[in-house]
Amino acid sequence: MMRRSMYCALLGLATSALVLAGCGGSSPSGPSGKGVVLQGTVLSATGSAGVTAHAGGSQSAAGKMVVTVQENPAISTTVSANGTFELEGLPAGTITLVFTIDGTVVGTIKIDGVAADVEIKIVVQVTADGVILIEITIEGVGGPSPAPSPSSSPSACLIEGGRANSNIELEGQVASGTTSLFELDVQGSRARDLVDVNASGASWKCVGQSGDCKTNFKVGNQVHVRGLLTTCTATEAVVNATEVKVQKP
């Protein structure tokens, strides 16, 4: 009798351990039948002004982060304390993820050209300027395939969150060119390549420095550009600047 009790107890322990080990989690059971499945990890920008560390770390100071699909707001989930989240049953086509903390939108990520029944994996970073896509992988039913967007789709914009014929603000270093036309190395990971800036009609401002910064303009200057994104593909982006601010060196 005693021995049977002992075996029952051990069996109970083992069963519960197995059930717990098997329940939920990131086990890639395959996207088929679940619609589009999206798994993500949110990183916070440590030290960024205005953004309290809230993902990949403590969210207690800023409240829970929620991810909602703009095309179907009924689809939403809460980001875990370690920054991970998962969404199932997403629509094919365009998916716009809206990140909110306590109801306040902190950024969006748009993914175009998503096929049905694929599994998307993304890593995003929350900064003071919004949510930046760091990495995206899309796996189809037939196995891994290149991500259609925004990293490798011919129709995608090489600037994260950028859209042709829309206003944009960029910050970065001048890689080459003149005050009329220069190439901008955008700060962080927001752009996958240099951005062409047509500044021939822009107003120039010098921030935190004396003298004519336009005359002293040179490669390596830190600038803030505001203007219209006229062209944006996976390989080329052109901004017609209305304002160029040259930061203090």
CB of 215 to another protein, least distance (A): 31
CB of 94 to another protein, least distance (A): 15
Of 16 and 200, nearer to another protein (C-beta) is 16
Of 186 and 229, nearer to another protein (C-beta) is 186
| Torsion 138-144-146-148 (CA) sign | negative
CB of 87 to another protein, least distance (A): 4
Of 34 and 226, nearer to another protein (C-beta) is 34
CA distance 216 to 26: 54
Of 67 and 174, nearer to another protein (C-beta) is 67
For Cα atoms 76, 79, 80, give the angle at the middle one, nearest 5 degrees. 140
Q: What kind and span of H or E run contains 5?
A: helix 2-22
CB of 108 to another protein, least distance (A): 15
**How far is residue 227 from each of residues 43, 130, 171, 197, 201, measured CA to CA in Å?**
29, 18, 12, 9, 10
CA distance 189 to 35: 29
